[in-house]
């Protein structure tokens, strides 16, 4: 089965129309249950107290920011190699979502850092590389719309995304490679999670909610772009038809 089959806009519209309600439902249920468990059921941390509840937004937002960038880089690579407009649409649709996730991660991290570290911001490796991630998202958004020729903007921004992908492992392993204020991984690590199940489950539910939210909004944005393109084509045909 060729990749062209998956890149057919009509097939995508039909598939997304069937999948969207389920993705939206999972998003809402995961977020509501995860927030309830995180804010009202999970115990406070023995060191951080109630401030640890920021974790249930900060950590999933950070995961989603990285996940979105990997998805955007994969879509940009497919667009560059196979010239599929749907892949370019997916990359373009992802950028503002990933930027929002990254901004949320930085803001909640600063709020969490104040009671833990005594300051809202320090230039450690994890925080600095996350700030670079936000600039990469914003740079893509600016570059993709910077040219009169849309194909030039798409190609240039896709190259930027692929070059910037080197920042993803830097973010992931920064706490292991350098001396930072961030604690090492406590969920995804060899030997299994070291976090209490009462805190782990709301964290996983929120991560699932953020992930499905990403897919939900990307589908909505791609559908909107496809329909907008169809409208533009119809209008051009009408203009050419009336002038002929």
pLDDT tens for residues 59-88? 999 999 999 999 999 999 999 999 888 999
Query: Considering the domain boundaries, does residue 4 fall inside one?
Result: no
For 170-228, write each residue's pLDDT tens digit.
998 887 776 666 666 555 554 555 688 899 999 999 999 999 999 999 999 999 999 88
Residue 118 zone, left/alpha/beta (φ > 0; ψ -120 to 50; rest) = left
How much is the pLDDT for 8? Answer: 82
Query: Considering the domain boundaries, does residue 3 fall inside one?
Result: no
Distances (CA, A) of 3 to 8, 72, 83, 90: 9, 17, 11, 15
The token pair that represents 10 in the structure block: 């009509």
Can you tell me the distance from the alpha carbon of 83 to that of 73, in angstroms, rounded to the nearest whole number?
14
What's the mean pLDDT in 222-238? 86
Which range marks the domain in which residue 119 is found? 20-42+51-243
How much is the pLDDT for 5? Answer: 58
How much is the pLDDT for 62? Answer: 96
Query: Considering the domain boundaries, does residue 104 fall inside one?
Result: yes
The token pair that represents 190 in the structure block: 């060899």
Query: Considering the domain boundaries, does residue 10 fall inside one?
Result: no
Q: How far apart are the first and last CA of the chain?
A: 42
How many domains does the structure of the chain reveal? 1
Taking the CA atoms of residue 48, residue 54, residue 103 and residue 208 in that order, the dihedral angle to the nearest 10 degrees is 130
Query: Considering the domain boundaries, does residue 200 fall inside one?
Result: yes
How much is the pLDDT for 190? Answer: 44
Query: Considering the domain boundaries, does residue 61 fall inside one?
Result: yes
């Amino acid at each position: 089965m060729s990749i062209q089959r998956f890149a057919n806009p009509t097939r995508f519209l039909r598939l997304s129309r069937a999948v969207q309600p389920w993705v939206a439902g999972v998003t809402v249920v995961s977020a509501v249950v995860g927030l309830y468990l995180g804010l009202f059921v999970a115990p406070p941390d023995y060191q951080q107290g109630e401030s640890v509840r920021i974790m249930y937004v900060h950590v999933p937002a950070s995961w989603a920011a990285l996940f979105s960038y990997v998805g955007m880089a994969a879509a940009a690579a497919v667009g560059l190699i196979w010239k599929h407009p749907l892949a370019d649409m997916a990359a373009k649709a992802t950028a503002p979502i990933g930027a929002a996730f990254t901004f949320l991660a930085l803001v909640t991290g600063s709020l969490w850092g104040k009671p833990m570290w005594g300051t809202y911001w320090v230039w450690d490796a994890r925080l600095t590389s996350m700030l670079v991630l936000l600039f990469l998202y914003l740079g893509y958004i600016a570059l993709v719309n910077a040219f009169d020729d849309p194909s030039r903007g798409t190609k240039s921004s896709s190259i930027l995304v692929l070059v910037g992908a080197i920042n993803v492992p830097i973010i992931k392993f920064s706490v292991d490679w350098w001396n930072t204020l961030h604690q090492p991984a406590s969920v995804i690590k060899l030997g299994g999670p070291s976090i209490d199940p009462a805190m782990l489950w709301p964290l996983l539910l929120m991560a699932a909610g953020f992930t499905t939210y990403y897919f939900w909004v990307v589908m909505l944005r791609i559908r909107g772009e496809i329909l907008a393109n169809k409208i533009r084509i119809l209008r051009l045909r009408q203009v050419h038809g009336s002038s002929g």
